[in-house]
Amino acid sequence: MFETFEFINEDFPWFFSALAAIFGALTGSFLNVCIYRIPAGRSIVFPGSTCACGRPIPFYHNIPIFSWLILRGKASCCGAPFSIRYPAIELLTAGLFLWVWMVYPPVVAAIGMLYIAFLICATFIDLDHMIIPDRFSIGGMVIGVVLSFMFPSLHGVHGLPMISNIQSGITAIVGALVGAGLVYWIAVLGEIVFRKPAMGEGDVKFVGFIGAFCGWQGAVFSMFGGALVGSAVLLPCLLVGRILAALKKNDSEVAVAEASEGTDASNDTVEEVQFGAQVPFGPMLAAAGLIYFLGFHVYVDAYFLEFVGYFFTP
């Protein structure tokens, strides 16, 4: 069977790549269900997909990506629009599954698909509800450690079966502990300095999950790389938010002045919008963890190896 797989993959490399993309799109459709139902405490299996009006969605109107395009973003039963985020997540998952299949051997690619699915779910749930469910952080951490013991190639460990399995499992455990511990102490120090919670407990567990799949190097990179990603995204958003708040304040002051017809309006106050007062850090951690896993680990691991060798080589 494995020889047949190698034969097909060698002579028709596009075949399994296409399957990976199709599987990714189907998985993305399922992830949409998880993202919507898990925070609400609903089953992700029953009932089947339904429209906002309550009518079941037939399978031929539930084809990933294409159904949204064919129906032009509107439900066939009642004409209600549904978000473009649904096909976007399906397309994103398809692209990432294809990428990981092209980068890694089949076994590691399959594990990577599970890792990516957890990252996507956690990202969009955190964006919507400012939480990361434990099934993706703690559950993902446990799964990462178990898979590391079973498949040492996940961490690039090769050698005698039992020894390589144990070494890979220890790598995952160390990665989880270093990741969770690093974020925990950063959160503690941040709370001392700023006198308010700097990071949530979900972020602590989430970096532990990334460390279980990527090792301590991936966990450290996800923390500091996530901060860089956050800065690149957050600072422009804060700038736009300040501009919008200033414009809104000016418009409100003009409206108050016109309504008062020349009376003293010094006692009137205008409430400013606190743009970005709470920012979910999970999506930024996920982005950095994804960047590391999809190829950047080569440079990060080389840097850490050189860094450690610089300080500990006699």
CA 231, CA 175: separation in Å to the nearest integer?
Answer: 25
Answer whether residue 8 is part of any domain: no
Answer whether residue 92 is part of any domain: no
Q: What is the mean pLDDT of residues 291-302?
A: 92
Q: Work out the pLDDT band at 55, boundaries 50, 70, 90.
A: confident
8 A C-beta contact, residue 281 and residue 203: yes
Q: What is the mean pLDDT of residues 176-200?
A: 79
Answer whether residue 94 is part of any domain: no
Q: What is the mean pLDDT of residues 167-176?
A: 96
Predicted pLDDT at 300: 92
Predicted pLDDT at 20: 95
Answer whether residue 97 is part of any domain: no
Answer whether residue 2 is part of any domain: no
Helices (H), the chain: 2-11, 13-37, 66-70, 85-103, 106-129, 134-150, 161-194, 201-260, 282-291, 297-312
Does one domain contain both 77 and 135? no
Does one domain contain both 145 and 279? yes
* pLDDT tens by residue, 273-285: 344 456 788 899 9
Does one domain contain both 79 and 112? no
CA distances from 294 to 32, 96, 98, 300 (A): 22, 9, 11, 12
The residue range of the domain holding 43 is 15-87
Indicate whether 46 pLDDT > 80: yes
- Residue of 208, 228, 204 lying closest to 296 (CA atoms): 228
Predicted pLDDT at 73: 83
Q: What is the mean pLDDT of the chain?
A: 83
Predicted pLDDT at 22: 96
With pLDDT > 70 as the criterion, what percentage of the chain qualifies? 79
The total of structural domains in the chain comes to 2
Does one domain contain both 120 and 214? yes
Predicted pLDDT at 257: 52
Answer whether residue 5 is part of any domain: no
Does one domain contain both 43 and 190? no
Answer whether residue 51 is part of any domain: yes
Least confident residue range of 7-16, 31-40, 216-225: 7-16
Does one domain contain both 289 and 147? yes
CA 183, CA 148: separation in Å to the nearest integer?
Answer: 22
Q: What is the mean pLDDT of residues 173-193?
A: 85
Q: Work out the pLDDT band at 263, boundaries 50, 70, 90.
A: very low
Answer whether residue 4 is part of any domain: no
Bigger pLDDT: 60 vs 157: 157
Does one domain contain both 35 and 164? no
Tokens, residue 21: 């993309």
Residue 147: CA atoms inside 13 Å, Cβ hemisphere, count? 25
Last residue within a domain, chosen from 57, 87, 117: 87
